[in-house]
């Protein structure tokens, strides 16, 4: 359906073709389908044209035209959002702007330790560019081959190395973004100190494409660690895992790079899904952690052994496998990183992505489990995540004999509200790293204060008074 106030689809197409070229405008249903559906197939919308601009100038001209004619715009990177943040609604009125052609590495400066890339460079591409220069770009998430730097910034992506290096917000020094009216905010500076007022670039980080379209960024590079040590460790329960993390930090300081919790149910699910991968540990422990230490110290492996021995003496560690080779380490990590896809393939997963203070995480997991099982006694408790950051992916999965749709229809709301409510009561977050999109948009009314919502709306109104950019995402209707 097209609003009578909007230009006709034919006029829109003609105008956009004049800016980006006919080849870079897609309208055929088969060509558009992959852009208007998220990769899990949970969010389906429509767009009357998908445009693939080649550079910032084209993005700017597309935005200026859409602004002038009141046409909504949905920006999209690798379309890996779990929250429906990168697909349009089903009105078919939006122009979808996909950034994949802005895929150039613009500069690598190994003196300044910065990497300047266009927004459509994949995370894998950015990591490879850093590696080729003898540096590390440390953001690490499972979808690195598909997700793009612009989307990583727009959603303030986290992942498995946040404990050591921070979220995307901590890894950006400069930014270029096209504003809703087509003007270009250009701050592609590689400065670690710039105390000249509001940090405007950070407004766009985590804004989920509602304030501007990120087109390029200057990212921080780190030294490549000379050594890495990885272990898969069985622990009695989440409280033991928290205590082991304290021990690992005390013994190895900055070297703790990742500390991932994995429930026995999550391990079983992923091993069944992968089929050809052996468990690192005998049997199926109830709880495990994947620990990675990294740094410049060749004795790191010994440090990890010391941590685990001390953990055994303290009764925290029940069993452990230390990676003896790179391929062992890769296998351990593969098991961790495939949990997400194992759930997607099974279907019927209630994805709660919460964070609470580390001191509260064990009690939180126990109580959230109790409340979930009171609602769905046979739910499979797929619980895992970045425990080192206090971030739990608390993802109850449908019982084996209940179809996913039925499970979600009857229990999604009750379970997600129970879990999110508990996290909120612990002064935690109901979206630690996945963002808001459409999935959690209305929940913000429950978990953000009136002052916070007013401030968010005021910023949106200042930059996008017509509400044309990524409409319906992130901000709940007033
Ligand atoms: C992960 O850590 O694997 C993802 O953030 C969780 C997910 O895909 O649900
Ligand atoms: Zn995660």
Q: Is the CB of 393 under 6 A from ligand 1?
A: yes
- Asked if residue 307 has pLDDT above 70, the reply is yes
pLDDT of residue 85: 97
Average predicted confidence (pLDDT) for the chain? 96
Find the Cα–Cα–Cα–Cα dihedral 44, 48, 51, 57, rounded to 10°: -120
Lowest mean pLDDT: which of 118-122, 196-200, 282-286, 362-366? 282-286
- Asked if residue 108 has pLDDT above 50, the reply is yes
- Architecture of the domain delimited by 347-425: 2-Layer Sandwich (3.30)
pLDDT of residue 6: 85
Q: Is the CB of 56 under 6 A from ligand 1?
A: no
What confidence tens digit (pLDDT) does each residue in 247-262 have?
Answer: 999 999 889 999 999 9
Fold of 105-223: 3.30.465
Q: Confirm whether 227-339 and 347-425 share one CATH topology.
A: yes
Residue with tokens 């770009």: 137
Q: Is the CB of 351 under 6 A from ligand 1?
A: yes
Residue 385 CA, ligand 2 centroid: distance in Å: 6
- What backbone phi and psi angles, to 5 degrees, belong to 372? -65, -45
Lowest mean pLDDT: which of 36-40, 130-134, 330-334? 36-40
Q: Is the CB of 127 under 6 A from ligand 1?
A: no
Residue 395 CA, ligand 1 centroid: distance in Å: 10
C-alpha–C-alpha distance, residues 150 and 377, integer Å: 41
What's the sign of the alpha-carbon dihedral 50, 181, 20, 119? negative
The structural domains of the chain, with segments of one domain joined by +, span 9-101, 105-223, 227-339, 347-425
**Six-digit token pair at 72?**
């909504």
pLDDT of residue 1: 40
| R_g of the chain, CA atoms, integer Å | 23
**Six-digit token pair at 319?**
């069993």
Nearest CA to ligand 1 atom 5: 159
Please compute the mean of the pLDDT values over residues 184-204 and round it to a whole number.
97
Higher pLDDT among residues 3 and 172, named by residue = 172
Share of the chain above pLDDT 90, in %: 96
Mutate to test the pocket of ligand 1, among 393, 397, 440 (most ligand atoms within 8 A of CB): 393
Residue 56: closest CA among 253, 213, 189: 213
Kindly report the CATH number that applies to the domain delimited by 227-339.
3.30.70.2190
Are 373 and 338 a contacting pair, CB within 8 Å?
A: no
Residue with tokens 């509260």: 360
Please compute the mean of the pLDDT values over residues 325-352 and round it to a whole number.
96
What confidence tens digit (pLDDT) does each residue in 369-398 have?
Answer: 999 999 999 999 999 999 999 999 999 999
Ligand nearest to the CA of 262: 1
**Does the reported pTM lie above 0.75?**
yes
Kindly report the CATH number that applies to the domain delimited by 9-101.
3.30.43.10
Higher pLDDT among residues 9 and 136, named by residue = 136
pLDDT of residue 3: 53
């Amino acid at each position: 359906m097209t609003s009578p106030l909007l230009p006709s689809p034919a006029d829109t197409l003609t105008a956009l073709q004049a800016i980006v070229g006919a080849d870079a405008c897609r309208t055929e249903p088969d060509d558009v389908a992959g852009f208007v559906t998220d990769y899990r197939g949970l969010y389906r919308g429509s767009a009357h044209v998908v445009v693939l601009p080649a550079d910032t100038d084209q993005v700017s001209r597309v935005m200026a035209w859409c602004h002038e004619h009141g046409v909504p715009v949905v920006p999209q990177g690798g379309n890996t959002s779990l929250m429906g943040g990168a697909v349009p609604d089903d009105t078919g009125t939006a122009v979808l702007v996909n950034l994949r052609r802005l895929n150039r590495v613009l500069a690598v400066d190994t003196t300044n330790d910065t990497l300047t890339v266009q927004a459509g460079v994949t995370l894998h591409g950015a990591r490879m560019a850093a590696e080729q220069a003898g540096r590390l770009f440390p953001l690490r998430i499972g979808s690195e081959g598909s997700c793009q730097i612009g989307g990583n910034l727009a959603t303030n992506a986290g992942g498995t190395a946040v404990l050591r290096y921070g979220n995307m917000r901590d890894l950006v020094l400069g930014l270029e973004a096209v504003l809703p009216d087509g003007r270009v905010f250009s701050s592609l500076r590689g400065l670690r100190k710039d105390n000249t007022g509001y940090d405007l670039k950070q407004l766009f980080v985590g804004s989920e494409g509602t304030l501007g379209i990120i087109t390029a960024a200057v990212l921080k590079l780190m030294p490549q660690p000379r050594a890495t040590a990885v272990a898969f460790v069985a622990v009695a329960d989440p409280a033991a895992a928290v205590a082991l993390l304290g021990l690992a930090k005390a013994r190895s300081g900055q070297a703790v790079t990742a500390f991932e919790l994995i429930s026995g149910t999550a391990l079983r699910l992923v091993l069944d899904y992968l089929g050809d991968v052996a468990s690192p540990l005998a049997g199926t422990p109830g709880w495990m952690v994947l620990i990675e230490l990294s740094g410049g110290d060749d004795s790191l492996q010994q440090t990890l052994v010391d941590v685990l021995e001390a953990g055994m003496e303290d009764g925290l560690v029940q069993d452990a496998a230390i990676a003896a080779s790179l391929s062992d380490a890769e296998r351990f990590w593969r098991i961790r990183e495939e949990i997400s896809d194992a759930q997607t393939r099974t279907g019927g997963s209630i994805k709660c992505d919460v964070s609470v203070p580390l001191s509260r995480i064990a009690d939180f997991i126990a109580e959230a489990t109790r409340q979930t099982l009171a609602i769905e006694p046979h739910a499979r408790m797929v619980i895992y995540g970045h425990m080192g950051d206090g971030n739990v992916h608390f993802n109850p999965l449908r019982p084996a004999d209940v179809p996913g749709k039925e499970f979600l229809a009857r229990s999604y709301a009750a379970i997600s509200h129970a879990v999110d409510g508990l996290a909120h009561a612990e002064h935690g977050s109901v979206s630690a790293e996945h963002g808001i999109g459409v999935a959690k948009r209305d929940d913000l009314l429950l978990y953000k204060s009136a002052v916070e919502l007013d401030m968010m709306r005021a910023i949106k109104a200042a930059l996008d008074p017509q509400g044309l950019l990524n409409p319906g995402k992130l901000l709940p209707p007033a």
